[in-house]
Amino acid sequence: MTKTNRSPQQTTRIVPLRKGSTLEMVRLTCPDTTQASRISESFGLAVLDSTGIRDLHERLITETADALNEGLAERAMQIHLQRIVGAYVGSAHGAGQFYSRAVTDARDATAKASCDARDEDLDGPVGLDGNAQRKREFAADVGLQAHAIRMAAEGAVAAYELVVGETWKPFERPAENSGQTLDRRAAEMQISAFD
């Protein structure tokens, strides 16, 4: 009996799941209303209408669902709104991460500037801000932007719950199938026993 050359066993590729951003993640990275107010006051920036932003986005999503109600089945509406709300939450989480990096840069630059032995971190010429001040101002601007997007996301999540009747959670793709059915794999194992 001769052995036939068989192809090496296919290795199953494991695809890690990419976890979606959650509202909790957004709340951990983006400034809340109190912090946004402190940023506005400390840097002389406009005070945002947090409640207005949240309520506007809640109405926007709710009215969108009302307009689509006749054309979409209940499950289709849920999927559609899940994707829209996911985009808002993902955007807010990205903005929050960017804000966190900007704050870290501002803190580092401020700490370096407080060391008298470092000439390169000293304030700029008279009338111009130093590097540390520019980074603090940038972090403040980014912080207010992250807060505004957070409020939009919170409004979208609240609207999802009103329309769908469930708490929103990010969509997570199920594990990919290796492409073979259980019967096919069982058959291959049985055949390989004859070799």
Residue 97 placed within a domain = yes
Structural domain including 145 reads: 23-171
Residue 191 placed within a domain = no
Residue 179 placed within a domain = no
Residue 187 placed within a domain = no
pLDDT at res. 11 = 52
Q: Please, are residues 104 and 110 in contact by the beta-carbon 8 Å criterion?
A: no
Residue 83 identity (one-letter amino acid): R
pLDDT at res. 23 = 94
3, 49, 129, 136 from 100: Cα distances, Å: 62, 22, 22, 12
Residue 53 placed within a domain = yes
Q: If we measure between CA atoms, which residue out of 43, 164, 27 comes closest to residue 99?
A: 27
Residue 8 placed within a domain = no
pLDDT at res. 111 = 87
Helix count (H) and strand count (E) of the chain?
A: 6, 0
Tens-of-pLDDT digits for all 195 residues of the chain? Answer: 555 555 555 555 554 555 789 999 999 999 999 999 999 999 999 999 999 999 999 999 999 999 999 999 999 999 999 999 999 999 999 999 999 999 999 999 988 877 655 555 455 555 556 888 999 999 999 999 999 999 999 999 999 999 999 999 988 766 555 555 667 777 787 887 887
Q: How many domains does the chain have?
A: 1
Distance CA 62, CA 151 (A): 16
pLDDT at res. 4 = 56
pTM over 0.85: no
Residue 14 placed within a domain = no
Residue 192 placed within a domain = no
